Amino acid sequence: MSQDSQVSKIDSRGGKRQDLTPFILPTQKKIHLDIRSIFGIVCGPGVVKMKITKDIKPVTYLKSRAADLLNQINETHRPVIITQNGEPRAVLQDPESYENMRNAIGLLKLISQGESDVRNGRVKSQEKVFKDIENSLKEKL
């Protein structure tokens, strides 16, 4: 792996974390898939920082200014934490960011399952996979 394709993240205590390999999506944009970046905790390209003074609102604010709050989350794509009696009770998020988060979690689950299969020896060679696909297609024709 080349030096420029590796990304180092710094944890909250200033210590260096593992290198994260960027994924290339069909749109050809590089993203750095890290579970913490999905929730806006890690800063980087494409990750929006949470602004505490603007992104945490009491439930009374939601009741009185729901339309303004919806405009804010749809324009900034930052989630808003709704509090009740000073405690976080809900997170309000725009549909696009929610869908992106769900897709990222799905990818992480698939990666985890694949890693588990490799650890448990449930692997096939590329040649065997293509041969199985070929045979399956021949049976259908």
Quick: pLDDT tens for 122-137.
999 999 999 999 999 9
Q: Which residues pair with 82 in a beta bridge?
A: 57, 90
Number of domains in the chain: 1
Residues in the chain: 141
Handedness of CA 4, 5, 6, 7 (dihedral sign): positive
Question: Average of pLDDT values for 65-83?
Answer: 94
Task: Copy the structure tokens of residue 111.
Answer: 């990666």
6 domain residue, yes or no: yes
**Ranges 32-36, 68-72, 133-137: which has the least confidence:** 32-36
Has residue 138 been placed in a domain? Answer: no
- pTM for this entry: 0.55
- Across the chain, mean pLDDT equals 77
pLDDT at 32 over 60: no
For residue 16, the enclosing domain spans 1-47
**Cβ atoms of residues 102 and 93 within 8 Å:** no
